[in-house]
């Protein structure tokens, strides 16, 4: 029987907080991340990709582990910790910012280069698309919207092969026009930032996620996971 619920974890940065960061809350320390992965293993979760969407429900207890923006520290700290417990993650890349630093939030944190993304994939992890420039998609003109969605998909597929099948809205922002562009581009699912977990018949173009932050200390992580199970879209 397919699983009734699909929780999706949302991480940004894993590892030491950059000096002077204004978004320290976006960081999960390496020991905390390892502890969380160990709990997932102890609770018998299986990590899944989000495409095809129906397939995510095949394991008895599925979970998707997502990382927004494509920070290098995901490769340095999160990838080995996931591998150690037999899990993998999905990183959402900003196609025109590979190898740069983020020009949103702090603008200081290094983003994975092309070869680092290849290393991420070789380690068993997946990638998805987080637009071309981390734009506020509901506010951009149509021509830019197409570049941010279809253009970014093409760019990532040229670099990394045809497996860019899921999208993640920058800032969690979407509307019907943005969603339609994402579907037309051939994406099979898209992550938002609504809280909770998902069912097989949820809106797969605005998937709910569990935000894991610096202050998501031990028991709170488990509580958030439990709460998400109760609160399914
Ligand atoms: Zn982002």
Which residue bears the tokens 């439990």? 226
pLDDT in tens, 173-223: 999 999 999 999 999 999 999 999 999 999 999 999 999 999 888 889 999
Answering whether pTM is above 0.75, one says: yes
Rg (CA), the chain: 16
Please give the distance, rounded to the nearest whole angstrom, from the Cα atom of residue 29 to the centre of ligand 1: 19
CA 68–ligand 1 middle distance (angstroms): 5
Find the 55 Cα to ligand 1 centroid distance in Å.
25
Give 25 Cα–ligand 1 centroid separation in angstroms. Answer: 14
Q: Averaged over 156-166, what is the pLDDT?
A: 96
Please choose, from the candidates 81, 169, 158, 94, the residue with its C-alpha nearest in 3D space to the C-alpha of residue 124.
Answer: 81
How far does residue 166's CA lie from ligand 1's centre (Å)? 14
The yes-or-no verdict on residue 113 having pLDDT over 90 is yes
Mean pLDDT of the chain: 95
Q: What is the pLDDT of residue 216?
A: 84
User: Ligand 1 centre from 138 Cα, in Å?
Assistant: 15
- For residue 130, the CA-to-ligand 1 centroid distance in Å is 7
Average pLDDT rounded to a whole number, residues 58-70: 97
How confident is residue 25, by pLDDT bands cut at 50, 70 and 90? confident
pLDDT band at 231 (very low <50, low <70, confident <90, very high): confident
Q: How remote is the CA of residue 145 from the centroid of ligand 1, in Å? A: 16
List the helix and strand counts (H, then E) for the chain.
8, 10
Pairwise CA distance, residues 224 & 194, whole Å: 13
Q: What is the CA(2)–ligand 1 centre distance, in A?
A: 31
The residues placing their C-beta within 5 Å of ligand 1, an ion, are: 68-69, 170
User: Is the pLDDT confidence value at 77 over 80?
Assistant: yes
Ligand 1 centroid, distance to 220 Cα (angstroms): 23
- Angle at 232 (CA atoms; ends 11, 43), nearest 5 degrees: 60
Identify the pLDDT of residue 228.
87
* All domains in the chain, ordered by first residue: 8-230 (3.20.20.370)
**pLDDT given at position 122:** 97
Token pair 């992890």: residue: 125
State in Å: Cα 1 to ligand 1 middle. 34
Say if residue 233's pLDDT is above 80.
no
pLDDT at 98 over 90: yes
Asked if 231 contacts 196 with a C-beta cutoff of 8 angstroms, the reply is yes
Please classify residue 171 by burial: count the beta carbons closer than 10 Å to its beta carbon, then call 0-12 exposed, 13-18 middle and 19+ buried.
middle
- Please compute, for residue 78, the number of CA atoms within 13 A of its CA located in the half-sphere on the CB side: 29
pLDDT at 24: 83
Residue 193 host element (H or E): strand 189-195
Distance 230 CA to ligand 1 centre (A): 26
């Amino acid at each position: 029987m397919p699983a009734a619920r699909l929780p999706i974890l949302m991480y940004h940065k894993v590892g030491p907080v950059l000096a002077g960061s204004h978004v320290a809350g976006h960081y999960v320390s390496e020991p905390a991340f390892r502890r969380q992965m160990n709990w997932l293993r102890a609770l018998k979760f299986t990590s899944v990709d989000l495409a095809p969407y129906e397939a995510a429900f095949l394991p008895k207890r599925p979970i998707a582990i997502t990382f927004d923006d494509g920070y290098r520290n995901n490769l340095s700290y999160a990838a080995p910790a996931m591998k150690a417990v037999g899990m993998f993650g999905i990183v959402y890349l900003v196609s025109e910012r590979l190898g740069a630093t983020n020009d949103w939030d702090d603008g200081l944190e290094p983003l994975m280069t092309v070869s680092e993304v290849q290393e991420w994939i070789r380690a068993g992890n997946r990638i998805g698309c987080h637009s071309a420039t981390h734009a506020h998609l509901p506010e951009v003109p149509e021509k830019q919207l197409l570049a941010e969605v279809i253009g970014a998909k093409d760019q990532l597929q040229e670099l990394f092969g045809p497996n860019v099948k899921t999208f993640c809205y920058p800032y969690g922002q979407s509307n019907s026009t943005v969603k339609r562009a994402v579907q037309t581009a051939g994406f099979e699912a898209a992550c938002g930032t609504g809280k909770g977990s998902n069912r097989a018949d949820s809106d797969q173009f605005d998937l709910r996620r569990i935000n894991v932050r610096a202050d998501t200390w031990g028991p709170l992580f488990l509580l958030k996971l439990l709460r998400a199970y109760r609160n399914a879209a």
